[in-house]
Amino acid sequence: MKTVGSEYIGNGRCRFTVWAPGKKKMMLRLVHPEEQEIEMDCAEWGYFSAEIEPASPDIRYYYKPDGKKEYPDPASHYQPEGVHGPSEVVDHGAYTWRDTSWKNLPFQDLVLYELHVGTFTPEGTFEAIIPRLDALKETGINAIELMPVAQFPGSRNWGYDGVFPYAVQNSYGGPNGLKKLVDACHAKGIAVYLDVVYNHLGPEGNYFEEYGPYFSEKYSTPWGKAINYDGAHSDGVREYFANNTLYWLEYYHIDGLRLDAIHTIFDQSAVSFWELLQNKIQALAEQMGRSFYLIAESDLNNPRVVKKTEVGGFGFDAQWLDDFHHSLYVLLDKDGLQFYEDFGKMEQFSKALTDGFVHSGEYVKFRKKSFGTSSASVPGNHFIAFAQNHDQIGNRPEGDRLSVLVDFERLKLAAAAVFLSPYIPMLFMGEEYGEDNPFLYFVSHSDKDLIKAVQKGRKEEFADYKFRGALPDPQDEDTFQRSKLGWGKRKEGKHQKLLNWHKALIQLRRSNSVLQNFNKADVEAQTLEQDGLVLMRQNHNHTESLICLFNLSENEISYTLPNTRTHWSKVLNSKERQWLQEQGNMEFSAAEQLAKGEMLTLPPWSVLVYQTRL
């Protein structure tokens, strides 16, 4: 394995390694604490290296390819002065970890919580998250998923414009800040997942092509040229990104990664990048005695993503299930059809609950072709279900959360659909209490031409959509400030009630054996015309059953209980007084016990759950 970047070996020694095939020489320029220039040794495969002594961990440096212009290290571990400044050596051995007994949580037990470090707290840092962990744990959340923290331009960004995949964002608190957060999470029994971007790099501060052929002209992506995973000199590129995965596991004790848009990673190699990645991860995980999980964002609707690499799969433990979101959201908000024209039928939501992929070979208007294949045989714990995420909110013109698009009763329905589903549940920060501040798209570039291009692109993207006011300017700091959570709301009125609803759902999921069964063979769904749906689930040995009744309409609907079991006991009723937004709202008292074959009525926009045991 070729390790790139700087490595503080200890005892006053530091090693620097950079991959730059095609360069005749490479100079290492030290700028702090003293200025010095050193010619690096050229090894095989285009790697240059140098070892210096005496050296301190706070050395700042640049590289000069062919001895010409200086650039930061593409594998920098820290950029304290931003994307254009010098790289800094990090002594990873200096941090004393307290999580030595931590072995990670079983994947099927996770309740994921996606958060953006910059807008999660007023301070917008890793360490500012730590005092909030108790509130998350009390809610039932046991895994946070950080949006990308790789160094990006300025201090405001979603993170997908990162240009230093190994460097932790300086404005968030840098390497030590992230380590302190992970340590604190593990102390409270919370796993930490990290969103990483291996399909593209941001435009500003992207100096990769000054070093080598990191990009390919053979493929294109929505962000420009694709990463070179299978062309000439791709060995160094594959090592760079595959080793990045190990870096987060080893140096930051991260429990798993979510890989952005893997459908834009192109590789026709005999040994795929995914196989290379899995082999490296398995070896290190065994060495460290810890489990490590990978989650994919995939637009392929192909079960191959979560199949083992030994049988030609990509080897991911799970993938985000966008079809679940789309099919549910359009039923809750009819205006959603302008975003998701191929959804809107109750049968599609039913299929999302029982199969996973809604589009499994049908013709899809949005794509202008037949699309996808069936995932009915894939166990539910290979999918992540959600009613919101950063993309679904932030890629709306005004960053509208579900809480401002639909009423309180529908918010409860959305939460119930996620936590009663046979999938791994995920919340987006603030969703648990119905945060109504927007989550907008924001940047803080310094390149004026790039700023104008981003502003123009945003306007063109939403040219056909009607929205209330002026389109928020991504570069304006106010756009970023408006996106911060209002933490005080979670203790007030309807927000507190929604928070308690989420707590109840999570507790039910944890305590009920039926909801811990991810076998699709034990999941059935039946539509009640276009007004509602019945989700039926069983535990592993079929001694317990749940029947989850959803009314997703303005009409009352009736349902007759099956004759298969004798007695049914009420578990959950979204129309009980404790779950109503205001005391004056219409309460519905469902029977505590029902007999087989008995008919019940569901009020509009409600969910009822009954259980039976042998």
What is the Cα–Cα distance from 327 to 370, expressed in whole angstroms? 18
Secondary structure of 150-175 as H, E, C letters: EECCCCCCCCCCCCEEEEECHHHCHH
Q: Tokens 């917008």 — which residue?
A: 124
What is the Cα–Cα distance from 374 to 387, expressed in whole angstroms? 22
- Which residues are known to be catalytic? 260, 297
Structure letter (DSSP) for residue 71: B
Residue 90 burial (CB < 10 Å; 0-12/13-18/19+)? buried
- Whether the ω angle into residue 379 lies within 30 degrees of 0, i.e. cis, is no
CA distances from 95 to 10, 89, 90, 92, 180 (A): 13, 14, 10, 6, 9
Please report, as a single letter, which amino acid is at residue 306. V
Residues 6 or more apart in contact with residue 367 via CB below 8 angstroms: none
What is the Cα–Cα distance from 413 to 409, expressed in whole angstroms? 6
Which H or E run contains 544?
A: strand 544-551
| β partners of residue 27 | 39, 64
Q: Quick check: 137 and 189 in contact, CB under 8 A?
A: yes
Tell me which long-range contacts 281-289 makes (C-beta under 8 A, separation of at least 24).
Answer: 281/245, 281/246, 281/249, 284/246, 284/249, 284/250, 285/249, 288/249, 288/250, 289/103
27, two tokens:
């100079």
| DSSP string covering 274-306 | HHHHHHHHHHHHHHHT---EEEE--SS--GGGG
Instruction: Determine how β-strand 293-296 pairs with β-strand 256-259.
Output: parallel
What is the Cα–Cα distance from 261 to 368, expressed in whole angstroms? 20
Structure letter (DSSP) for residue 343: -
The CA radius of gyration of the chain, in Å to the nearest whole number, is 26
What is the Cα–Cα distance from 351 to 525, expressed in whole angstroms? 8
Instruction: Determine how β-strand 363-364 pairs with β-strand 36-39.
Output: unpaired
Q: Quick check: 603 and 536 in contact, CB under 8 A?
A: no
Residues 6 or more apart in contact with residue 591 via CB below 8 angstroms: 570, 600
What is the Cα–Cα distance from 205 to 222, expressed in whole angstroms? 19
What is the Cα–Cα distance from 502 to 495, expressed in whole angstroms? 11
Measured over the CA atoms of residue 203, residue 268, residue 237 and residue 181, the dihedral's sign is positive
As a dihedral over the C-alpha atoms of residue 508, residue 514, residue 515, residue 516, rounded to 10 degrees, the angle is 110
